[in-house]
């Protein structure tokens, strides 16, 4: 358990970079109208906060082993990736910045690939569909997965209200940073403790890819604040 706590502390440090100073009740609300006096001053731009439920789910995964760990993780990460793809597709449709649109392309390609892998492994290893995997998860894990999905649906709905152009790029990045951070939290336990080596490799790849994008997103966002 000590090593598991150490791994989660590492991700908590990463998440701190993505955490806004705004209260959660404000940060999770619909995109606020920027006052005219601030429209040319973007120093207030920050990512949205990482959901506390993501950390709770990380604790839940840390208590699981073997089949239960793998099935519960896969039940959560597949819809998590689907939501990232949905947001990235919106960026492709409405975004203006070539750098962010390229990241959106990579998110779509990488996470579609992992969804295909994870869905296939669920079937091959356990004879389950993603929906059946969720039903097999504990009641606590199901509640946390459902809570994370509600929050993500709210983020996507907010994003759909943002007009195309530079502001859309900003709002996409503000949401993708905490979404990626949640994904990293989910990947931690299977990276080190999954029974199947293929899943360990895929989890490690998922962490590395999302960490790299978070760093680039943070850098880009800071550039918009100058």
Residue-wise pLDDT for 158-184, tens only, equals 999 999 999 999 999 999 999 999 999
Cβ count near 150 (within 10 Å)? 12
Residues contacting residue 186 through CB under 8 Å, at least 6 positions apart? 54, 57, 58, 61, 73, 76, 77, 80
Predicted confidence band of residue 225 (pLDDT cuts 50, 70, 90)? confident
In the chain, where the domains are located: 66-224
Q: What gap in Å lies between CA 179 and CA 182, rounded to an integer?
A: 5
* pLDDT for residue 11: 54
19 vs 191, residue with greater confidence? 191
Residues contacting residue 11 through CB under 8 Å, at least 6 positions apart? 58, 181, 184, 185, 188
* pLDDT for residue 44: 60
pTM, two decimals, is 0.83
Residues contacting residue 123 through CB under 8 Å, at least 6 positions apart? 129
Of 149, 154, 147, the residue nearest 31 (C-alpha): 154
Residues contacting residue 102 through CB under 8 Å, at least 6 positions apart? none
Residues contacting residue 95 through CB under 8 Å, at least 6 positions apart? 101, 104, 164, 168, 169, 172
Q: What gap in Å lies between CA 201 and CA 196, rounded to an integer?
A: 9
Predicted confidence band of residue 68 (pLDDT cuts 50, 70, 90)? very high
pLDDT at 31 over 60: no
DSSP conformation letters of 89-148: HHHHHH---HHHHHHHHHHHHHHHHHHHHHHHHHHHHHS--HHHHHHHS-HHHHHHHHHH
Topology of the domain covering 66-224: Ferritin (1.20.1260)
* pLDDT for residue 40: 42
Name the token pair of 95.
């975004």
């Amino acid at each position: 358990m000590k090593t598991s706590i150490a791994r989660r502390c590492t991700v908590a440090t990463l998440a701190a970079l993505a955490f806004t100073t705004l209260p959660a009740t404000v940060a999770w609300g619909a995109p606020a109208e920027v006052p005219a006096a601030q429209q040319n001053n973007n120093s207030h731009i920050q990512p949205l906060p990482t959901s506390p439920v993501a950390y709770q789910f990380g604790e839940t995964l840390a208590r699981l082993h073997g089949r239960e760990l793998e099935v519960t993780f896969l039940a959560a990460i597949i819809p998590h990736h689907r939501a990232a793809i949905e947001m990235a597709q919106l960026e492709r449709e409405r975004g203006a910045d070539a750098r962010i649109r390229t990241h959106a392309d990579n998110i779509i390609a990488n996470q579609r690939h992992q969804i295909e892998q994870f869905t296939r492994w669920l079937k091959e290893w356990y004879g389950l569909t993603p929906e059946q995997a969720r039903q097999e998860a504990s009641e606590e894990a199901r509640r946390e997965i459902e809570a994370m999905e509600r929050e993500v649906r709210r983020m996507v709905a907010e994003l759909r209200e943002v007009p195309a152009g530079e502001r859309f790029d900003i709002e996409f990045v503000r949401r993708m940073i905490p979404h990626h951070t949640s994904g990293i939290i989910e990947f931690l336990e299977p990276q080190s403790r999954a029974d199947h080596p293929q899943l360990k490799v895929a989890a490690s790849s998922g962490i590395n890819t999302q960490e790299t994008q978070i760093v680039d997103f943070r850098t880009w966002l800071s550039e918009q604040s100058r």
